Structure 1
């Protein structure tokens, strides 16, 4: 494989930014120094003026394979991911069939081994009756257990309180939850259906999948984790009210209960439904400006630990259906990092904080082995970002299999120019160069 020397970049790592060079050899970061002399056979990349950061570890994606590949597949979405500076992803179990046995889980790993450009892990899915299978999950090479406490795409609802307590009491792996209270949502949906039928205006989505539904479910999950000692990670927190449930007075490595926020909840508000319609219909719903500001505050003060995408593509045909028939979710992996750099330009977050929340903290939280930092001896999962290279999101440059983006028409100031995965230059200046170079993530447990 080719060795590389990245010269003169603004290297961002562990809260510091400094100008320096990075030597990549045999897939790893071999040396970080001020002025490394090029060796014979090493390809030099001049990164002067550009940020050099660890690749984003996206802890929640839905790449739709197997069973839903008309929307997306691991090959297509991993290409979009590396184009967006995401070098590792953790995919969710609500594919078809659901990944709720060890055999079905391993089949997903086998698919990724043949086609993923990015590094990968797949979560094992919990149900009301598969505790025995959950307990067989290998903590060394599986990211964790996923539970849907509110129904979403795939409908893997776990709603039996006794079963939940049993899972929380017995599973030693990280348990990640989609937390929305199903009874509250069903009641709200009935109210709006009586008024509007199938054509409920999408503006009511955050009132159907409401703040109360989110808070009720998140608080119950946290109460159960505290009671049982389970390691709980709450996915896609979407309300300001929920942020009060999380702590920022202890180091991340010591937290038993952690939280994630997604890019769309940091970017959009309920005011955007009028223009975007079902394209920004997610579960949990995009909510108010007050909620968005509360999420930013909690993210920056340490109550929320990581930023992810919840990348969940559907076709435009599916999205254009009436509200009750249009699925929730949207594609995000190609545009998440540049959206965060746009927020940085507006003064909402620093580059150092972006790196902390997208790379360092996911690596710490999931105990990912030798990734998430720019350190000698670590895998060379590295992204170069030009902060002053404006570009516009257009159909022609969208890599998602579904062919659309909620950011379509948006002009971003920063651009990902290079992405390295395991030392391989997989993306450069708009082109994915290689395939099947991702590796299965391992965890230090």
Structure 2
């Protein structure tokens, strides 16, 4: 398809989403919740169809040499489809933020003022691989009265289309217009570039994927961007850390699902803890199939530890690889993390209240953990039902973005004839 045709098609879909968003914005909570519950049911009903489409994407992905991390993000199974459906049901069960009075006050002249929560309008999303984002974004958008235009990657097109078919089939049984949820029919770069300039139809653009995608959207878009970030996440094991607890947290943060942005990529270990318990940590990681790249102190613990290069401390592996470094104290750990952080998720394992305080106070990231795995930086785990992304910026929204993150507000002023 030629560039002009692609641009025209994308703008037609954007216009349709904007028109439909007006109806969704005025929908009652009951109407929106009914739609979400029907979408959940339809996803489960169409499981076999969705898995068949996903199998085709996976086969093509393997032939095209997709990395193991991308293949994992692309993969759907019964559990992940059930998770998508559960997310829709949980979002339906949450309080509707639209119409909420955020604050109210009365001025000396008698004017009564209030700020109330309203939809953003139309959300544009550009994302890679993960077809679950299609369902999550649609559900969050509908609950908040927004329209949404989704542009997934070519590697997940058939999976995304199968999920979208389920969403549209469900919406056809409701009073809400199915056009409020749009999936771009073209996955080319030209389609993405067109979205960057669709200020007439999109109120915000959210990129979700690798560093190159996010950087491209941030640098080229004239539509306001809600930036999600990569995750070079750290675990710092302090000298007071309980050995078993520290090992379990580090192994879980690295291995539970290494292909996602909240997986740990670097483990910092206090020198005294390393001397006492380092071998158990290294053996546990190796037993789980993790390749370890360590500094000279860590290399002494096992012959299979590879030397860490300078670039390892700055790398989001998204794989069964971890860099491990010895530090002399909490201050050195904090300095290292603040040097290499991507402002996503950072954790300290310690029994020291003072070191926990320093860590929480001095580390700049969206989510900080004490004695827990970084794998919990997730909308579902935060009780949001799902997330539209994890924001690593500071304006408007930060961390897992649930319902309130994709709303705005307006002021309502009630008078009785006041003039100025």
Indicate the TM-score class for this superposition, using the shorter chain for normalisation. Answer: under 0.3
The two structures have a TM-score, normalised by structure 1, of 0.26
Q: Which has the higher contact order (CA 8 A, sep 6+)?
A: 1
1 or 2, which has the higher helix percentage? 2
Which structure would you say has the larger Rg? Answer: 2
